[in-house]
Each structure stands twice: as C-alpha cells, then as structure tokens.
Amino acid sequence: MIQRPRGTRDFTPEEMETRRYYEAMMRSACVSHGFREVQTPIFEHTELFTTKSGPGIIEEIYAFKDKGDRDICLRPELTASVIRFFVNDLTNYPRPLKMFYYGPCFRYERPQAGRYREFYQFGAEAIGSPTPEMDAEVIGLAASILERTGLKDYRIRVGHIGLLKGMLRTAGVEGDQALPILQKLDKKMYDEARTLMEAAGMSIESAERVIAMTKVTGPIEVLKDFEGEARTYLEEVFEILGHYGFRNLEVDLGVVRGLAYYTGMVFEVDAPKLGAEKQICGGGSYSLSELFGGEKVFSTGFAIGFDRTLLALEKEGVAPKRFRVKAYVVPVNEGTRKKAYEITAMLRREGVSADMDLMRRNMGKNFKYADAAGVENVIIVGEKEIETNSVNVRDMSTGEQILVPIEGLVARLK
C-alpha cells in the first residue's frame, strides 16, 4: 500500500464539510471588513523567501531545482507572495489595499499534533501607512474571524518590536547583531539571548533589563512605566479596538516574532487548550516591498493557522451542522425508473440536493442505505401515484410518510 507523505493529511467528506464551513465563515468576516480575496501561486522562486528571511530558511522549506534548473520552493506562508504580487501588479490600486487569502503552505517541520508539513493559512494583509487605525483594523479582523467561528477560549497578545529594538539600540546593538538576539527572545531562550547580548558588548544589567521587558504582560496600563512613541502607539491601537468592542486583548512585550521585517506592532493569538502548538495566529506591521524591488510601503497583516483553529474548536466541542442529502429518489420498480430520473433532475435544477438509487437495490435495501447515509427524505416513485402525478415522501427522522403532488414537491422539501 502506498502511504501519504509524512506530515500531510487526507480529509474525509465530513472533515471537508467542516473545513469548507469554517472557511466560508472566515471569508464572510473578511468581506464584512472590506477585505478582498487574492490568490498567488503555490510555488515561487526560492529567492522570494531567502530575500525575506535569509538563507537559513532553506532548511525549513521544500526547496528544489525544477527541470529548467531554476530554484523553486513550495511557499511556507503567503505574506512574501502577496507583497511580491503588490510590487509586480497592484501598486496602482487605491490604498489602503486590503486583501485576504486562504490556501496550503508547506514547511519541512518535524510533524506532531497541530504541526504539519502541509497546513492551511487564512490570512490578510493591509497595505498603506503605519497608523494605529490600520493596525487596529487588522487585529480587529483577526478577532472578528475567530469570533465568527464560535471559538471562545483564546487570547490576543499584542507587543511592539520597537520597544525592544529601541532598548537594544540604546545599548549599541542594531541590525544584523540584534536579529539573532530577538530570535532567541522570541523562543524564550533567555540563556542563549543573554550570551548573545553579552557577546555584543552589552552589560549584564542592560541584558537583564531587555529580558525583563519581554516578560511584561497584562492590560494596557502595564505600559505606564515606558516612555516613548511605541507606548502611545499601542495605547491608541487598544483604544480603537475598545471602540470596536474587542476586549479579549492584552499587552505582551514577549511577542517578538523573530523575523527581521516586522517594524512595530506585533501580535499573536493562543488557544490555550491546544497545549504545545497553541499559537493559532501571528502577525504584525512590517515593510517588505522595498526588498522585492518596490517603493517602501508599510503593511500590517496576519495569518491564522486554519488547522489549529479547527482543532481548538473541536476541543471546545463546537461542531457545525452536518450536510444531509435532502431527497433520495427510489423507483419502486423498473417501470417507474424513468420518472425517478425526471424527478431527481427537477429537484437538482431547483437547488434541492437529490440522489437516486444507482445500485439497482430493492426497496428494503434502499431504505437501509438512506438511513445509513443520513438522507433527510426518501421519495418513493410508485406506479399508482404517478398516475395522479404524485409521489410518497418519507421523512427519515420521524418515519412519517405523505402523498405529495410532484408540482408541490420542491416547495415541500425546501
């Protein structure tokens, strides 16, 4: 037997229904916020991601040479693709340009619960200028999407990369020297961060101050001891989100997001019930377009881990209603089969989901099948009934059976 590759999944019809249901919920939240959908290729030039994240990224992605000897990779995320698309073709759109996307991403990870090699992201990017309004709009969209799925237990943690970068800069550490430190702080690897800070010439006291800063969490008031633009900026973002009615937010200066391109506000969402892989969303404000040959433009975006969000919903016991075929049409004998085709086709044209016996089963077996398949109604096409242009409709949940004129069948089933 050939097995599927490690870290990938197949989805059953029931799982696909659930996935499509939540995808539709998320899409509708985006549309009600004025975001419009875009789609980009699943594979890109590897350079797109090495330019954004450095050559180290190659170890973490599916990168290969194609038959034309080009370096190609499967996308590990969509932000770089969306910004490339913007630089290539969308710079004339009015701004802010608010876009969302949904699709598979690939990372060469060690698979475990909630961590896959092929997974799905539902994300958004707003391109325009770096204002608290823009950031609040994007955090608000992430919150609305999660709200619309019905998820209850999650925390939105908002930080500001400028506070940490500022503190490192004051201590004389910037750019390429600061990045590995930020990456260690992002992973809460304090000993390693400490060693790097000391190697960069920082005093023990200032290294400890930086570490202490990443542990600041709580309501917006925890920022009162900090001075400067980043604090007033975050206060404004929180105030706007308050007007929008979002309360499930806290400050967490430990949100560092270990990537060079984030410039200011950064945020993450956790669903604590998920355990180790509990992060269901990550994002922030960044500037990337200049790296891809465009003008410098500020953007804010996020990506929700679609699979993890569904796992979190499952843990909370939230389940969407299962799809059931409305009508299963069964001819009582070969003589009424043609009529059964006509009735099935009529129902389908009218938008009523309808199935027909395709296995030439007898009546008893057809009922057994209808029951097992979870069909709502069985439409029995009998000889006598056809003479009066009627059929018998059996409601499979109540067992009740009534005679219905064919012309009234659609209305009855709808």
Residues of this chain that bind ligand HAM (CB under 6 A)? 77, 79, 107, 109, 115-116, 119, 121, 123, 125, 279-284, 286, 301-303, 305, 307-308
Contact by Cβ (8 Å): 346, 411: no
Q: By Cβ distance, which residue is nearest to ligand HAM?
A: 305
Q: Which amino acid is at 21?
A: Y
Whether a cis peptide bond, with omega within 30° of 0, leads into 76 is no
Q: Which is nearer to ligand HAM, 289 or 377 (CB)?
A: 289
Residue 399: CB minimum distance to ligand HAM, A = 45
Q: State the Cα angle at 306 between 102 and 326, rounded to 5°.
A: 85
Q: Which is nearer to ligand HAM, 285 or 366 (CB)?
A: 285
Residue 375: CB minimum distance to ligand HAM, A = 35
Q: Which is nearer to ligand HAM, 301 or 382 (CB)?
A: 301
Q: How far from the centroid of its chain's Cα atoms is residue 242's Cα?
A: 24
Residue 383: CB minimum distance to ligand HAM, A = 57
Q: State the Cα angle at 156 between 182 and 115, rounded to 5°.
A: 70
Residue 333: CB minimum distance to ligand HAM, A = 53
Residue 33: CB minimum distance to ligand HAM, A = 15
Q: Which is nearer to ligand HAM, 86 or 116 (CB)?
A: 116
Residue 42: CB minimum distance to ligand HAM, A = 15
Q: Which is nearer to ligand HAM, 67 or 296 (CB)?
A: 296
Q: Which is nearer to ligand HAM, 307 or 355 (CB)?
A: 307
Q: Which is nearer to ligand HAM, 121 or 336 (CB)?
A: 121
Q: With helix as H, strand as E and coil as C, how does the chain read?
A: CCCCCCCCCCCCHHHHHHHHHHHHHHHHHHHHCCCEECCCCCEEEHHHHHHHHCHHHHHHCCEEECCCCCEEEECCCCHHHHHHHHHHHHCCCCCCEEEEEEEEEECCCCCECCECCEEEEEEEEEEECCCHHHHHHHHHHHHHHHHHHCCCCCEEEEEEHHHHHHHHHHCCCCHHHHHHHHHHHHCCCHHHHHHHHHHCCCCHHHHHHHHHHCCCEECHHHHHHCCCHHHHHHHHHHHHHHHHCCCCEEEECCCCCCCCCEEEEEEEEECHHHHHHCEEEEEEEECCHHHHCCCCCEEEEEEEEHHHHHHHHHHCCCCCCCCCCCEEEEECCHHHHHHHHHHHHHHHHCCCCEEECCCCCCHHHHHHHHHHHCCCEEEEECHHHHHCCEEEEEECCCCCEEEEEHHHHHHHHC
- By DSSP bridging, strand 401-405 and strand 36-37 are unpaired
Residue 378: CB minimum distance to ligand HAM, A = 42
Residue 314: CB minimum distance to ligand HAM, A = 15
Q: Which is nearer to ligand HAM, 100 or 328 (CB)?
A: 100
Q: Which is nearer to ligand HAM, 9 or 215 (CB)?
A: 9
Residue 142: CB minimum distance to ligand HAM, A = 10
List residues bridging with 326 in a β-sheet. none
Residue 299: CB minimum distance to ligand HAM, A = 7
Q: Which is nearer to ligand HAM, 112 or 232 (CB)?
A: 112
